[in-house]
Structure 1
């Protein structure tokens, strides 16, 4: 028996085992329609709803109304999907065309017995076990092909919590620029807000970026060098060398991505336009850029024009000019009046007279028009240099 035939048999056995596990669930929690804030051990949402009591979120139960598409359910995407599931998101749409491999076991989420299964199928079965209240749609295909790309756009436009409505957010968790550009093109075309994420090949840095078509730079506005030069990514990989992968780095990036997703959907806190992560130095750089008017994506330029038109229609902030009248002191029944405590001598001194100096102290300059009690030259006619003047000051 060849290695390929053996792998196929193992894959079929894994699928059968997973199917039997799904059928043999003896206890299954019933779905609930509303999130309860009751503080009991049997309530899976009590800790989440406590965010309302803490004053962090005013409407956490609205999380059930949102639909999020996760493109790529690998190291970052699978953990992202799990976090959103545990948070009680209403609906998840999962896109990927890869299969689970034993080489993926250094990451979180997937388990050895799932090797050979499609990632979206394995993810769906696991996530349903975690929270059966979440609605799932999974798509096992490559979004960069022509036919699949159009289907991908249609699902983004109509795959919302309510049938026929768009999703609320798209999360890019892919590991190649071709897929990122496909997501960018689709979201620019339909004006869909999305968040991009990535981890470097050395596994010690990553980033997340919020992209609002027309308002912020799209992925093509400031493309990476590999995209700008139209270089084939396959030519950059060395034979026999694979990208490094740390579950810690991927979990950090996934956590930052989901955190900003919750802030965006539930409108609390502030969403960072771009947030980087350097694991070697625990450095989190941020930046904010403007969209490129000369972007190569025509849909991006169209979205920029539409955004500027919407901004122009917004009412301008008017600045009220308040006339400040001079303060008038009215007479009062207690006959209180303000009296200056400054003496005539103090006023005279303030007008330029030179005070009497102690013995050994001399003036380096005098106020023009005042009468000096010494015979020293004034600063107006001295020929000393700045350095000489500074040295004299130090001796005083």
Structure 2
């Protein structure tokens, strides 16, 4: 937040206030509701859950999606607990301590693994994360990494809310190797969160009542009443014929293909012959062509 939103003239403002001012200047048509508090306390957690349940654009309606951009496990677990209890779909994101990798994750209570289903060691072992100190950890995060992860998160949000493309359940980013791992992880039946286990039971019940049916698409035969131009379909060119008519193919990395290759020159049929050079001008050549 400090590196993506905060501006020098906003010194003295809280992160929440600075973010609202910056975003409001970008798009004044967006309605903002800010709360500058710690969601892990009892009172604030209750209010946080209330805003998830009743904070939609229409008063009393739940919100569509929760985005988690917090920087510690305690806050993530609080969001996870609230969303599990309410059955609220949310997206979790983060940047690693080495500042050169990050991830986004779509969490659908009962369907996919929640944050407590496969917790990091610091959470599973009940270790206070503030006591952790690791050698080689970057003291300051890179705004470029944060910008990449934030962009991936927003792209996934747009696909989810607008219903296009493939929504990623988990998408990582490793800047050192330019690697983007992706996967989907099912919920853990032995999850430590009781609300997660309850959501799993409800999801399985709904899935049993409404099984997904495979849609088989049947191609309709195209019938042309007339064929004025005599157009007809012929067999496709085989790979061997295409190879024979194409030039040599260079070695390319996996996933890259050629759009075309230069045909090989054939000896003896004149196809490889070239026009001899001449000192005649273009106008003189054009005059000769007219006389032919």
Question: TM-score when scaled to structure 2?
Answer: 0.71
CA distance in 1, matches of 2:179, 2:82: 32
CA distance in 1, matches of 2:80, 2:213: 34
Q: CA deviation at 1:243?
A: 3.6
- What corresponds to 1:288 in structure 2? 184
CA distance in 2, matches of 1:141, 1:195: 20
Within the alignment, does 1:216 sit opposite 2:112 as a pair? yes
Identify if the C-alpha distance between structure 1 residues 229 and 260 changes in structure 2 by more than 3 Å, giving closer, same or farther. same
Within the alignment, does 1:251 sit opposite 2:147 as a pair? yes
> Hey, which of these two has a bigger chunk of helix by percent?
1
- What corresponds to 1:270 in structure 2? 166
CA distance in 1, matches of 2:124, 2:192: 10
Identify if the C-alpha distance between structure 1 residues 247 and 311 changes in structure 2 by more than 3 Å, giving closer, same or farther. same
Q: What is the correspondence of 1:1-396 to structure 2 with a 5 Å cutoff?
A: 74=1, 104=2, 107-237=3-133, 243-315=139-211, 317=213
Q: CA deviation at 1:315?
A: 4.6
CA distance in 1, matches of 2:67, 2:215: 41
CA distance in 2, matches of 1:266, 1:247: 28
- Could you tell me which runs of 5 or more consecutive residues in structure 2 were left unpaired when the two chains were aligned: 217-292
CA distance in 2, matches of 1:243, 1:213: 34
Q: CA deviation at 1:126?
A: 1.9
Q: CA deviation at 1:319?
A: 10
Q: Return 111-120 or 227-236, whichever deviates more.
A: 111-120
Runs of 4+ in structure 1 off by over 3 angstroms are 315-320
CA contact (8 A) 2:159 2:165 kept: yes
CA distance in 2, matches of 1:318, 1:280: 41
Q: CA deviation at 1:193?
A: 0.2
SS at match of 2:159: helix
SS at match of 1:227: helix
RMSD, matched Cα: 1.9
Which structure would you say has the larger Rg?
1
Q: CA deviation at 1:119?
A: 1.1
SS at match of 1:139: coil
CA distance in 2, matches of 1:144, 1:179: 6
CA contact (8 A) 2:116 2:193 kept: yes
Question: TM-score when scaled to structure 1?
Answer: 0.52
Question: Any idea what the Cα deviations from partners look like across 1:299-349, whole Å, max 9, x if unmatched?
Answer: 0000000000100111564899xxxxxxxxxxxxxxxxxxxxxxxxxxxxx
